[in-house]
Amino acid sequence: MAQVTRGVRAILNLPLVYEACQSLVGATRARRVIVQEYLRTSAGQALLDVGCGPADILGLLPEIEYIGVDSDASYLARAAQRFRGRGRFYLGDVYTLEAIADRQFDAILAVGLLHHLNDAEVEALFGFAATKLARDGRMVTIDPCFTDRQGPVERALIRSDRGKNVRSPDAYRALAAKSFPNTVLDLRRDLLHIPYTHCILTCHAGETGPPGLSTGLKIESRGVFRERNPLRSAGSGLPLEARPDGVSYETTRLRSRQPQAAVSP
């Protein structure tokens, strides 16, 4: 994972600071758009959130089965504290997580994750997701991107991101297409209070995708440019620690014997 976590950016590793910064730039609205226009999950469905952070999006979701996975223990502790009883949170490697080994999901979400990964890691994630989606399921990703239409201020803001693998929209889509032949790409410039372009991929399970999926169609309206195109220490499984705030920490025994812990509300 390629990211900068030193210097001034290190302060974003604190969950409360991260949440405040996200709120300041308008990320709450962005998450609402993701939930309403892209995820479109219904009550009772199952969602896997890869790189969930403090799971801010969970507060906007209906009553679903939510599983969040992240590599930052402090983010997950914050998520478990805020959303006790609403989801399950796991620390470690999503590929070796026993809790989802035999599971499939109606939706898989990766918010701001791909631009922290190199190409091989992104391809591996899409390949894994393709095996975990139920029939008619979808994977939704959202990341900053570079385009020819951006000004110097916007490009500088995107370059300052902690993730060091920001790509062009076509580069993101090409990586997804190897596992998802039916992918919808949206470019959004209206999600934050600052000039910022997001690339949103909606990757559909199956060979043909949902009915009415358009191909090669470009639409530009309301400042939104859309392009539609087909294309890890193993433990006993028993609680290790229960803090006064009610957050319990467990480890799960992994086939790979890599570190893995679950944070249970």
Q: Give tens-digit pLDDT for 228-259.
A: 332 232 232 222 233 333 333 333 322 233 33
For residue 238, being part of any structural domain is answered with no
**Which range of residues forms the domain containing residue 165?**
7-232
Yes or no: say if 254 and 96 are a contact pair by the CB < 8 Å rule. yes
Give residue 161's pLDDT.
85
Number of structural domains in the chain: 1
For residue 242, being part of any structural domain is answered with no
For residue 244, being part of any structural domain is answered with no
CATH code assigned at 74:
3.40.50.150
Q: Give tens-digit pLDDT for 135-175.
A: 999 999 999 999 999 999 999 999 988 899 999 999 999 99
The CB-side HSE value for 98 (13 A sphere, CA atoms) comes to 18
The CB-side HSE value for 228 (13 A sphere, CA atoms) comes to 11
The CB-side HSE value for 79 (13 A sphere, CA atoms) comes to 30
Give residue 162's pLDDT.
83
